[in-house]
Chain A
Amino acid sequence: MVKGIGASPGIVVGKVLVKKEEEIKIAKKTIDSSETEVSNLKSAIEKSRTQIQALYDIALVKMGEEEAKIFEAHQMVLDDPEVFGQVENKINNEKINAEYAIEQVVAPFIKMFDMMEDEYLKERAADLKDVAGRVTKNLLGIDMVDFSNLDSKVVIVANDLTPSDTAAMDKEMVLGFVTEIGGRTSHSAIMARTLEIPAVVGTGNVLSQVVTGDMIAFNGDEGVIFVNPNEEKIAEFNAERVKYDAFRTRLSTLVGKESVSKDGVHVELAANIGTPEDLDSVLRNDAQGVGLYRSEFLYMDRESLPTEEEQFEAYRKVVAGLEGKPVVIRTLDIGGDKKLDYLPLPEEMNPFLGYRAIRLCLDRDDIFRTQLRALLRASAFGNLKVMFPMISSVEELRDAKTIVEEERVKLREEGIAFDEKMEIGIMVEIPATAIIADLLAKEVDFFSIGTNDLIQYTTAVDRMNEKIAHLYNPCHPALLRLVNMVIQAGHKEGIWVGMCGEVAGDPRLIPVLLGMGLDEFSMSPISVLNARWIIAQLSQEEMKIVAETAMNLPTASEVEAYLANTIQLED
């Protein structure tokens, strides 16, 4: 058993095809005729050009223009005078072999880009490696692994896969893949999800344990891999696979359908996202909007605050991409366990009770105003709503709204367009906020309940602390009561109430939330269709009684047992 990172869901059982990373040994050789060597180089470049063009065509059809662009970038590298132009010069001037010249020219670029913090430039280093490797192999007549032309169904195991590898994969023949390096957001993982090929990445050393032809089985959600599993394990995986495939097929029939209960109550099933790149999976899983866009990711992994323009671009992309569907963007939620290198915060005894989120933004209104301007400007491009995190009092809400109003006035004076009716709401994640929800509801357009923090603050349990993790339970009657209070308080003032914590996508609690009258459920994109399936089987009238009963049970375990016995869902 090998543990990796689940990168793309699905159950896989099949025969291994190892992609060998043959270390090409390149030695310096003196050549007789630089003319012949240059002509060899040129034909290798032309051969590469044809291959890259073919990959572009495949990618365009299978994955669309955005994903195919990477091969346009490869063509540009091929035409780059400072890369292959220099290689040619080196061959002529130093009378050396072409492959050695390539290595000499390319290595400094790769080293330089690899050292940079910038993700975009790191990817260009990967492009350069990919292209240089391709030309070198064409020069030496080494066959390249071609996943577009497999004659039997396989599970690919590799140290890493290049964009050229993944683009060529045929979903019919590639059952899944496993890579030794990479994380959930590495290129190969993203491609696996786009292509809907189950995958596990970041397994560490696994190539020493498998050879082509071995059996392998894995679950792309869990990231656990079994090499040469016994008959029993294979049967187990096969049964799971059949079940899983039927499940996904059934869910795919729900794409384009409404989210409506058995008794005709419509709810909104939205998605939680971190970056504009998640847009694709939001649309693929047919979410009806974005219920939580965590803007803090824009601020992470960089050396300075993002500019208004950069933020505007990111927000606009998501808002425009959803074509009028609602997008709730949470303003900067930093502090607590989320830190920024370029914004040093003082060490605190209790960071979760400290200087974070809206507290920081109201103190550093320069940061806050830049973000609000970007948000307001992006609001002109679709249905954007702004949400403040960690509001604990009416005063904070009023202060934040005053700043929004001041920025609106400035934009109007500058003649810059924005949505005058943009909704403003708050996260409800602090018990104090839930308790005064009736007062807050008079001053906002919506609530979104953040259950992760609400449970933590309500029960005084740090969920990272293993010793007390068992006390962190969303079925705690206190949480159910608070959630219900917030929903009813919101409805009394005529505003909509959503939820964007883990609980919103929890199949056990969806019935209770439906019964309480929750309007919007926001969850990981992958959970949306399953939630639609569950809701279609439930009647809100019946769930009202279930919610009422659950809230009045004394313990979380009794709530769990009651729900398990009462709610019978087809699975």
Chain B
Amino acid sequence: MKEANVILINATGLHARPASMFVKEASSYACDVTVEKDGTEYNAKSIMGILSMGAMKGDEIIVRANGEGEEAAVKALAALIETGFGE
């Protein structure tokens, strides 16, 4: 299992376009990918799950992957967040 702590820096947080970018990226990996916020875990491959998380700018979240390609998945998703989804 791999994980990374990241802080959302883009204006909209995990909402709208960034949310679907995140889910699409997560879905491209075979491993299980989750996001934890305030002690609750959400499925990173679920758009409904990610939207219901309501993660906003400044929130700290943990990206976690388990299985095939876990390292690459965590790295790519953390990078997406850290670069502010290209906003």
- Chain A residues within 8 Å of B, Cβ to Cβ: 73, 76-77, 79-83, 85, 109, 112-113, 118, 120-121, 124, 128, 307, 309-310, 313
Contacts and interface: CB of A to CB of B under 8 A. Distances in A.
B11 A124 contact: no
B67 to A, nearest CB: 14
Nearest to A306: B11
10 contacts: A76-B20, A76-B23, A76-B24, A81-B45, A82-B49, A121-B51, A124-B47, A128-B48, A307-B11, A309-B87
Interface string B8-39: 00011001100010011001000000000000
A128 B24 CA distance: 18
B43 A81 contact: yes
Which of A80, A121, A313 is packed against the most chain B CB atoms within 10 Å?
Answer: A80
Contact of B16 (A76, A77, A85, A120): A120
Nearest to B52: A112
B34 to A, nearest CB: 11
Secondary structure type dominating chain B contacts:
helix
The 9 closest A-B pairs by CB, nearest first: A82-B46, A309-B11, A82-B49, A76-B47, A80-B46, A82-B43, A109-B48, A81-B45, A81-B46
Interface of B: 11-12, 15-16, 20, 23-24, 27, 43, 45-49, 51-52, 57, 87
Nearest to B84: A309
Given A73-B20, A76-B20, A120-B16, A82 B48 contact: yes
Nearest to B57: A307
A112 B49 CA distance: 11
Contacts of B27: 79
Given A77-B48, A80-B47, A313-B87, 12 more contacts: A73-B20, A80-B45, A80-B49, A81-B46, A82-B48, A83-B46, A118-B15, A128-B48, A307-B11, A309-B11, A309-B87, A310-B11
Nearest to B27: A79
A79 B46 CA distance: 8
B46 A313 contact: no
Contacts of B20: 73, 76
Contacts of B45: 80-81
A313 B11 CA distance: 10
A83 B49 CA distance: 9
Contacts of A124: 47-48, 51
Given A120-B15, A307-B11, A313-B11, A77 B52 contact: no
Contacts of A79: 27
Contacts of A85: 46
A173 to B, nearest CB: 33
A81 to B, nearest CB: 5
Contacts of A120: 15-16
Contacts of B11: 307, 309-310, 313
Contacts of A81: 43, 45-46
